[in-house]
């Protein structure tokens, strides 16, 4: 975790928004400090990276202006716009609600299409209002509820809480389970009842918060405590969803041959009684045409645009899904299935982990395949995470040509990878001058201009030229100035000679290809 925090601090210094997003999703404490007492927010503010500052605040970084750390961020901000952002920041809203993982789980309490709930929760106090919830989420977040769903509530789909509690208190606890930022809404008169229910449902972290917060009077201290606890609650939930994937989903996968029907009795029985409470089978077919079935949940897969569209637009899959949900008996219902784009099983597992708990752990061996599959699934954020891994793994260039990476970048529209490929070529221009694919890459780049004119530029060439300037620490004006200089020693020391040699490589290739760029 310390290594990731140091990587986060570095990404904040240089303004690498994609990497900050990826690292924030690993559960790194955004409010920790490095060996020099610098928080990620302070570093981003000090270095003038406005988008990173906004992202950190959205992800739960705290800027309490009444404390030294917050004041330091404000007065150390490089620009007035960043200072204004920090001054307008409301610490009472400093929660992780803008984590994509949290936002999606919270949204599941609302009435959505398609309907994904499978439990209606109410109370015995006479109020007819009921909460539409998800068995697998309640089980993942509460050991006590999980036990009930496997025993006394096994066949039930409408449940009344027998404790003498109101639907308001029950809804508050349900919101907490679904990561809705509810701490600041809790009425003090409900503390005792909520504490009792939290104890019964074995939610010790909420019980601890309720015990502590009732003794805090100062509003600033209370807001800071809520922000700290909200971060902890989010990370606890992430670990609980990780356990759900590890212990309930991956341990119940089923490998089948091409001839096996998904409605075969063995398949139906296996998933109808699965401890993960699945309502969807994800079918993955790998390069060997082997099939693996994953017990999953539409509520989670709907986070992905590809699947959300599949079940909200009037496709045949929607009708099939609704038809097969009608049978609610645990042993008779047929669970519908959806197909992933063809990929290796490990890639599918990485993507499912991302969808269930925002995992950004992508081994370099699968980074390119994850990028390609995420592109097919319309998951831009996961694509960015995979691209970060590709650009930061030295093993990638030991196993792939930089031109292979460039072509993948074009295919998936990943600008970050396009720049990365150009930078790698620029840093070792003499080597790549002899590489047979350099000409092909430049030719293909020239063809990417939809309506080429004499003034058009070739993007790959432009990027290489940019990184050549960066390689020798030149500005464009420096080239004009040094080109007029006669002092041989100065020219040698400045690096202009080597720079011109590298540029000449590009010019020669363009001449050979009869391209003007």
Q: Residue 144: which CATH number? A: 3.30.710.10
- Residue 85's pLDDT band, with cuts at 50, 70 and 90, is confident
pLDDT at 124 over 80: no
| DSSP 8-state secondary structure symbol assigned to residue 335 | P
Residue 478 and residue 485 in contact, taking contact as beta carbons nearer than 8 Å:
no
- Residue 295's pLDDT band, with cuts at 50, 70 and 90, is very high
Structural domain that includes position 54: 2-89
Q: What is the pLDDT of residues 20-31, one digit of tens each?
A: 988 887 778 888
Q: What is the pLDDT of residues 202-249, one digit of tens each?
A: 999 999 999 999 888 877 777 778 878 887 888 899 999 999 999 999
Within a domain: 506: yes
Q: Which helix (H) or strand (E) holds 122?
A: strand 119-123
Phi, psi values for residue 105, rounded to 5°: -60, -45
Q: What is the pLDDT of residues 61-77, one digit of tens each?
A: 877 665 666 677 887 88
The C-alpha atoms of residue 383 and residue 388 are separated, in whole angstroms, by 9
Residue 231 and residue 102 in contact, taking contact as beta carbons nearer than 8 Å:
no
CA distance to 298, 313, 337, per residue, from 318 (Å):
12, 7, 11
Q: What is the pLDDT of residues 372-430, one digit of tens each?
A: 999 999 999 999 999 999 998 889 999 999 999 999 999 999 999 999 999 999 999 98
Within a domain: 387: no
pLDDT for res 324: 41
- Residue 322's pLDDT band, with cuts at 50, 70 and 90, is very low
pTM of the predicted protein model: 0.79
Within a domain: 303: yes
Any idea which residue has 């959505």 for tokens?
112
Q: What is the pLDDT of residues 436-448, one digit of tens each?
A: 899 999 999 888 7
Phi, psi values for residue 119, rounded to 5°: -140, 135
Residue 501's CB is within 10 A of a number of other CB atoms, namely 12
Q: What is the pLDDT of residues 166-204, one digit of tens each?
A: 788 889 999 999 998 888 888 888 888 999 999 999 999
Within a domain: 388: no
Within a domain: 201: yes
Q: Which of 119, 52, 106, 109 is nearest to 79 (CA)?
A: 52
The C-alpha atoms of residue 202 and residue 200 are separated, in whole angstroms, by 5
* Alpha-carbon dihedral sign for residues 309, 310, 316, 318: negative
Looking at the fold, whether 346 and 410 belong to one and the same domain comes out as no
**What tokens were used for 274?**
């699965």
Within a domain: 158: yes
Looking at the fold, whether 29 and 148 belong to one and the same domain comes out as no
Phi, psi values for residue 513, rounded to 5°: -90, 0
| DSSP 8-state secondary structure symbol assigned to residue 99 | S
Number of domain units in the chain: 4
């Amino acid at each position: 975790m310390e290594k990731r925090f140091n990587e986060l601090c570095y990404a904040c210094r240089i303004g690498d928004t994609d990497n900050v997003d990826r690292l924030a999703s690993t559960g790194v404490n955004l409010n920790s400090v490095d060996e020099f007492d610098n928080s990620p927010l302070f570093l981003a503010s000090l270095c003038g990276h406005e988008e990173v500052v906004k992202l950190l605040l959205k992800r739960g970084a705290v800027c309490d202006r009444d404390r030294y750390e917050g004041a330091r961020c404000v007065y150390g901000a490089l620009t007035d716009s960043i200072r204004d952002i920090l001054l307008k920041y409301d610490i009472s809203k400093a929660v992780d609600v803008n984590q994509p993982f949290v936002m999606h789980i919270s949204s599941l309490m609302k009435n959505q299409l398609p309907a994904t709930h499978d439990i209606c929760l109410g109370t015995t106090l006479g109020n007819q209002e009921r909460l539409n919830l998800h068995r697998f989420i309640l089980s993942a977040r509460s050991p006590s509820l999980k036990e009930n769903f496997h025993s006394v509530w096994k066949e039930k789909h409408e449940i009344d809480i027998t404790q003498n509690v109101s639907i308001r208190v029950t809804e508050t606890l349900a919101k907490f389970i679904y990561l809705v930022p509810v701490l600041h809404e809790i009425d003090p008169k409900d503390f005792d009842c909520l504490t009792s229910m939290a104890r019964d449902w074995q939610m010790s972290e909420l019980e601890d918060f309720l015990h502590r917060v009732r003794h805090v009077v100062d509003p600033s201290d209370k807001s800071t405590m809520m922000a700290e606890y909200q971060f902890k609650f989010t990370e606890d939930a992430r670990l609980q969803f990780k356990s759900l994937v590890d212990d309930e989903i991956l341990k119940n996968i089923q490998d089948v041959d091409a001839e096996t029907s998904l409605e075969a009795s063995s398949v139906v029985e296996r998933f109808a009684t699965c401890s993960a409470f699945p309502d969807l089978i994800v079918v993955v077919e790998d390069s060997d045409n082997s099939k693996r079935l994953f017990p999953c949940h539409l509520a989670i897969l709907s986070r992905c645009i590809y699947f959300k569209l599949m079940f909200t637009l009037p496709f045949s899959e929607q009708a099939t899904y609704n038809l097969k949900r009608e049978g609610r008996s645990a042993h008779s219902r047929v669970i519908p299935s959806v197909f992933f784009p063809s990929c290796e099983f490990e890639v599918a597992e990485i993507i499912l982990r991302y969808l269930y708990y925002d995992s950004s752990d992508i081994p370099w061996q699968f980074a390119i395949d994850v990028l390609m599959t995420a592109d097919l699934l319309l998951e831009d954020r996961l694509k960015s995470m995979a691209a970060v891994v590709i650009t930061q793994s030295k093993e990638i260039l030991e196993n792939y040509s930089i031109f292979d990476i460039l072509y993948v970048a074009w295919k998936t529209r990943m600008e970050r990878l396009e720049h990365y490929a150009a930078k790698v070529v620029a840093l070792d221009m003499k080597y790549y001058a002899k590489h047979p694919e350099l000409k092909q890459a430049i030719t293909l780049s020239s063809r990417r201009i939809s309506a080429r004119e004499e003034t058009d530029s070739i993007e790959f060439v432009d990027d290489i030229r940019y990184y050549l300037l960066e390689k020798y620490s030149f500005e464009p004006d420096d080239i004009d100035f040094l080109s007029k200089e006669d002092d041989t020693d100065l020219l040698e020391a400045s690096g202009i000679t080597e720079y011109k040699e590298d540029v000449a490589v590009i010019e020669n290739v363009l001449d050979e290809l009869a391209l003007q760029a």
